[in-house]
């Protein structure tokens, strides 16, 4: 066995050619090692940049969410009468501010006309300030918390971030806006990014794509400065259009950099971590110079010896490389490479075949994950969009119809809040299991949100609404069956919006119509369904409740009155 392995060894064959071949292959190994080292370190450095950017983005998102939650709690606790009593309101703000001084450097309350009623600590020229024309303020008046774009704080005249949350009365009506001004250089806010260092010349930046602005950076000179013009930094341009990950490319100064990009949760901002390529790969550069000097001395002789050895010894390797290259370009399908001899090349080929098998398995797993919801195993929004396009084309060709049922669970949030997310996950999995039993083999059941599902029913005959009603009633019935969690029964319901189409509509309009109909069902008392009008352009639809629910049918428009 050892003798056979020795005779099959590539090293043995090289020894037979002569000492010159051994020397030349040793030098060649150095050359390949440099390329391998450069490629490997490029990959490692790029992944490190992406990891660092992701960590910083998560840290920033956590701190922003912490401050938003703090303001929402204050807004929920704020007595409505304080809007009319400045002294009491200022004292109320002072007490809360002193309890959590790091979560906002300045608090203020504005009424629904945009005037700042009270603030703490007092800011300069408050009486001349008005938020009436501020789009973030207007958005907050709709009842939604808003994380504003960075600006110079009117209180401290330093870069700051403003967060606005609505203040509501007992009836849920927005009566004002509570705001918090967070200075970007405040302790514990963006400290990780501002004080971080990545080698002697690396850097971090927090960027707002909407304003093409550097919000903050570890270089103070870059804070609130505009980004380079389009085309000056190709990698940054890709990030501004939605790319997240890592890569190598020139910056605005023409220096090649390894960059990582990651989105900040809860905002449209992203973090970039960059490091010049030369700083990331110093060992490769030194090794390349050393090998180059040695190669120039014996280049001519080594070239001849390697050429002769390559023609005979490396023919299988060359063939394998050609096949692998064709697979990479898509000219031939992925398949195992032939093993010609059981030498080092043969072992390398077998190892490649094993890696190829694992890669194909991994690709299959990634393909499944990209189109399915992790929790329930149902198709996700991406696969639903594909199925909708296919269903619309088939309905138009076969002259039948489809129905889209947009389902939103009623009563899920109390279970999720009281029993925890693990119990909520079990509920969603059980609901998915029940709905699968309702869906036909040709239908598609997808999860598109937290407790939102979509059922795409195909091959429906006229009138399309009859089949959709039957499916909706089955869904309501199966979801309303009691759930047992921790030896206790819970009751869920479901509100369903329905949109039907004979194929002569687009997927987005159909989904939007079903979504709007679902909100009409919610407003109509829940536990029922609403069918969107034909053509999705009418001013009203019909609300329907399953038999035995005790709910009456009425125009969906009445639910909004």
Helix axes 10-17 and 344-371, enclosed angle (nearest 10): 140
- Closest C-alpha among 133, 139, 101 to residue 120: 101
User: DSSP readout, 160-211?
Assistant: EEEEEEEEE-TTS-EEEEEEEEEETTSTTTSHHHHH---TTT-EEEEEETTT
User: DSSP readout, 133-149?
Assistant: T-HHHHHHHTT--EEPP
- Closest C-alpha among 477, 471, 492, 475 to residue 548: 477
Q: Cα–Cα distance between 346 and 334 in angstroms, integer?
A: 18
Q: What SS3 string covers 276-307?
A: EHHHHCHHHHHHHHHHHHHHHHHHHHHHHHHH
Question: Residues 241, 235: contact at Cβ < 8 Å?
Answer: no
Q: Cα–Cα distance between 541 and 243 in angstroms, integer?
A: 41
Q: Cα–Cα distance between 191 and 143 in angstroms, integer?
A: 31
Q: Cα–Cα distance between 495 and 78 in angstroms, integer?
A: 33
- Closest C-alpha among 118, 89, 109, 87 to residue 176: 109
Dihedral pair phi/psi, residue 82, rounded to 5°: -65, -20
Given 451, 459, 508, 515, which residue is catalytic? 451
Task: Write the CB contacts of 151 (distance below 8 Å, at least 6 apart in sequence).
Answer: 159, 160, 162
3-state secondary structure at position 377: coil
Q: Cα–Cα distance between 434 and 493 in angstroms, integer?
A: 13
Dihedral pair phi/psi, residue 75, rounded to 5°: -65, -40
- Residue 451 bears catalytic tag: yes
How far from the centroid of its chain's Cα atoms is residue 391's Cα? 27
Dihedral pair phi/psi, residue 370, rounded to 5°: -70, -20
Q: Cα–Cα distance between 499 and 88 in angstroms, integer?
A: 52
Residue 365: is it exposed, middle or buried by C-beta count within 10 angstroms (0-12/13-18/19+)? Answer: exposed
Question: Residues 280, 161: contact at Cβ < 8 Å?
Answer: no
The CB-side HSE value for 248 (13 A sphere, CA atoms) comes to 17
Q: Cα–Cα distance between 427 and 435 in angstroms, integer?
A: 12
Q: Could you list the active site residues?
A: 451
């Amino acid at each position: 066995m050892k003798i056979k392995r020795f005779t099959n060894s590539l090293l043995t064959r090289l020894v037979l050619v002569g000492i010159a071949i051994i020397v030349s292959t040793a030098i060649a190994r150095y050359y390949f090692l440099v390329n391998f080292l450069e490629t490997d370190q490029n990959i490692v450095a790029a992944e490190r940049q992406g990891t660092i950017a992701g960590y910083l983005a998560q840290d920033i998102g956590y701190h922003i969410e912490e401050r938003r939650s703090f303001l929402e709690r204050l807004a929920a606790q704020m007595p409505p009468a304080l809007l009319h009593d400045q002294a009491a309101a200022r004292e109320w703000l002072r007490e809360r501010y002193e309890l959590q001084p790091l979560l906002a450097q300045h608090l203020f309350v504005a009424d629904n006309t945009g005037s700042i009623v009270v603030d703490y600590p007092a800011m300069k020229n408050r009486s001349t300030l008005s938020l009436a024309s501020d789009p973030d303020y207007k958005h907050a008046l709709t009842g939604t918390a808003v994380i504003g774009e960075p600006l110079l704080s009117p209180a401290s005249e330093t870069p700051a971030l403003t967060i606005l949350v609505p203040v509501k009365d007992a009836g849920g009506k927005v009566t004002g806006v509570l705001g918090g001004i967070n200075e970007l250089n405040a302790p514990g806010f963006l400290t990780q990014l501002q004080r971080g260092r990545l080698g002697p010349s690396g850097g971090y930046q927090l960027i707002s794509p909407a304003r093409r602005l550097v919000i903050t950076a570890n270089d103070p000179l870059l804070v609130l400065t505009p980004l380079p013009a389009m085309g000056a930094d190709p990698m940054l341009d890709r990030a501004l259009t939605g790319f997240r990950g890592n890569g190598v490319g020139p910056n605005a100064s023409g220096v090649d950099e390894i960059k990582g990009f990651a989105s900040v949760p809860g905002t449209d901002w992203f973090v970039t971590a960059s490091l010049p390529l030369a700083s990331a790969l110093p060992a490769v550069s030194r090794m390349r110079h050393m090998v180059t000097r040695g190669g120039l001395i014996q280049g001519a002789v080594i070239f001849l010896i390697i050429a002769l050895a390559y023609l005979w010894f490396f023919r299988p390797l060359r063939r394998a490389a050609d096949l692998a290259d064709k697979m990479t370009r898509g000219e031939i399908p992925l398949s195992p490479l032939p093993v010609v001899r059981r030498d080092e090349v043969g072992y390398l080929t077998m190892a490649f075949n094993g890696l190829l098998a694992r890669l194909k398995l991994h690709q299959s797993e990634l393909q499944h994950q990209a189109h399915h919801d992790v929790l329930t195993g149902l198709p996700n929004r991406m696969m639903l969009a594909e199925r909708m396009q296919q269903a619309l084309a088939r309905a138009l060709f076969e002259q039948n119809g489809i129905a889209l049922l947009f389902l939103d669970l009623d009563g899920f949030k109390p279970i999720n809040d009281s029993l925890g997310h693990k119990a909520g996950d079990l509920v969603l999995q059980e609901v998915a299991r029940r709905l699968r039993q309702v869906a036909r083999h040709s239908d598609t059941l997808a999860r598109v949100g937290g407790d939102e599902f979509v059922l795409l029913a195909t091959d429906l005959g006229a009138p399309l609404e009859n089949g959709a009603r039957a499916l909706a009633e089955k869904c309501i019935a199966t979801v309303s069956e009691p759930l047992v969690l921790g030896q206790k029964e819970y009751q869920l319901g479901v509100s369903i919006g329905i949109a039907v189409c004979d194929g002569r509509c687009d997927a987005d309009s159909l989904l939007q119509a079903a979504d709007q109909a679902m909100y009409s069902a919610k407003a109509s008392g829940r536990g029922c369904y609403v069918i969107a009008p034909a053509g999705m352009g009418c001013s009203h639809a019909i609300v329907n409740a399953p038999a035995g629910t005790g709910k009456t049918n009425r125009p969906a428009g009445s639910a909004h009155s």
